[in-house]
Structure 1
Amino acid sequence: MKSLLLTLLFITVTTLSFSQEVSYGVRGGLNVSNLDFDPDPTFNNQHRNGFAFGGFVDYGVSDNFSIQAEIQYSAEGGKADELRADYIQLPIMARFGLGDKFTVGIGPMASLKTWEERDGFATFTFSGVGGLEYMITDELFVDARVHYGLSNILDKDLTDVEAQNTTFQFGFGIRI
């Protein structure tokens, strides 16, 4: 019985290791970002156009499912100088293949602010991220994502106002 269990375990591990594929790559994108305030601000809150760039590791669990971890720089926040919020972000997405060309993904994202000169912003925030990717070739892709802020980006010790980032990101990349 023990040898049967060890044999089954060996076959399972061997099968999983052959079906797993790890790919790496880089991506860049354009952001359209806005801050959602509570209560609503008395000033004109305009969106900010920014950019994002970074690298990723995609760990294939099966033919149609993978886990992708990224590290990226992203320029977000509002248009006014005092509302700009730039981050180093770590999105981790569960990705599901829809045929040969399309993939959808969803997951959490942690963000760390990158500037020090502006007081009033929280150092660490959380968001949810979801997106759709289209493979142009075996290596090149385009994607569209949305980041929805789940935590207050403003320092709660300095203000009673809350704000969350909402960002639409249109990207392109290459798998190496």
Structure 2
Amino acid sequence: MKKTILSLALLAGLSSAAKAQTGLKLGLKGGFNGATFSGNDSKGNQYKAGFTAGGLINYGFSDLISVQGELLYSQKGASIDGINYTTASASTTNGTFKSTIGYIDVPILLKTTIGEDGKGLFFELGPQGSFVINNRDFIEDGGGKQISSSNTSTDDLNKVVIGYVGGIGYQITSGLGIGLRYAGDISQVYKDGASKNLFSSAASGFKGQNPSVRNSVFQLQVHYMFGGN
């Protein structure tokens, strides 16, 4: 009888603990992007500022392990020095090409949290698909004055790119957390072949061809999650 009671008590305790450690959570997040291009034609590239914002869904198998999917709007692109450009009214031999490309990012992450009750240091890693939404690029002279009209076409861009995400952060409370992650693309930013827009006349080093570059982004993010058991 005692063994039966002890077994039932142990089973009830394990069930309660499992329930406390698992659950579905929804959340919001936002943060700062430091974006640039990497790859064969990334010489002269500098980081540029942008932002990211969106929602997430997290399912915890335990305090230690969870899977997290996100849907984020994210500004990427780069600032590229050493551009030669001439218009009817102005020219520069050392201009700066500035590109801001808006994506919808969809990362699927395996998340490991070290601590009790789902709080503490966490690590995350997984693949990411990104979908082009908008684009804006232009050229400035050495004094920071815009000397070209803005190009908003996405014709030269690969509309879907595949990449990866890795990060580290800290879950401050059961809801609030902060993280630093790196997002790198495997796919190229631009389509292969001749440029249809600004690069064909602006980036003389590419001789009218789209450059071979990939997105490379550091992200500082804050999130808040609701729900869970």
TM-score range, shorter-chain basis? 0.7 to 0.9
* Mapping 1:18-167, distance limit 5 Å: 18=19, 20-41=22-43, 44-79=44-79, 83-99=99-115, 100-115=119-134, 117-158=153-194, 159=209, 161-167=211-217
TM-score by length of 1: 0.82
Identity of aligned residues (%): 26
- Could you tell me which runs of 5 or more consecutive residues in structure 2 were left unpaired when the two chains were aligned: 1-10, 80-95, 135-151, 195-208
Residue 111 (structure 1) shift: 0.2
- Farther off after superposition, 125-134 or 32-41: 32-41
**1:82–1:118 Cα contact (<8 Å) kept:** no
Give the aligned length.
160
Structure of larger gyration radius: 2
Equivalent position of 1:7 in the other structure: none
- For residues 94-124 of structure 1, give each alpha carbon's deviation from its aligned partner in whole angstroms, at most 9, with x where no partner exists: 0111123111000000000002623311100
**Cα distance, 1:156 vs structure 2:** 1.6
> Which runs of 5 or more residues in structure 1 are unaligned?
1-10
Cα offset for 1:81? 6.0
Aligned-residue CA RMSD in angstroms?
2.1
Residues 76 and 85 in structure 1, CA contact (< 8 A), matched pair in contact too: yes
**CA shift for structure 1 position 40:** 4.3
Cα distance in 1 between the residues matched to 2:61 and 2:71: 20
Distance in 2, Cα, partners of 1:63 & 1:118: 43
Whole-angstrom CA distance in 2 between matches of 1:23 and 1:90: 17
- Normalised by the length of structure 2, the TM-score is 0.64
Once structures 1 and 2 are overlaid, which stretch shifts more, 68-77 or 55-64?
55-64
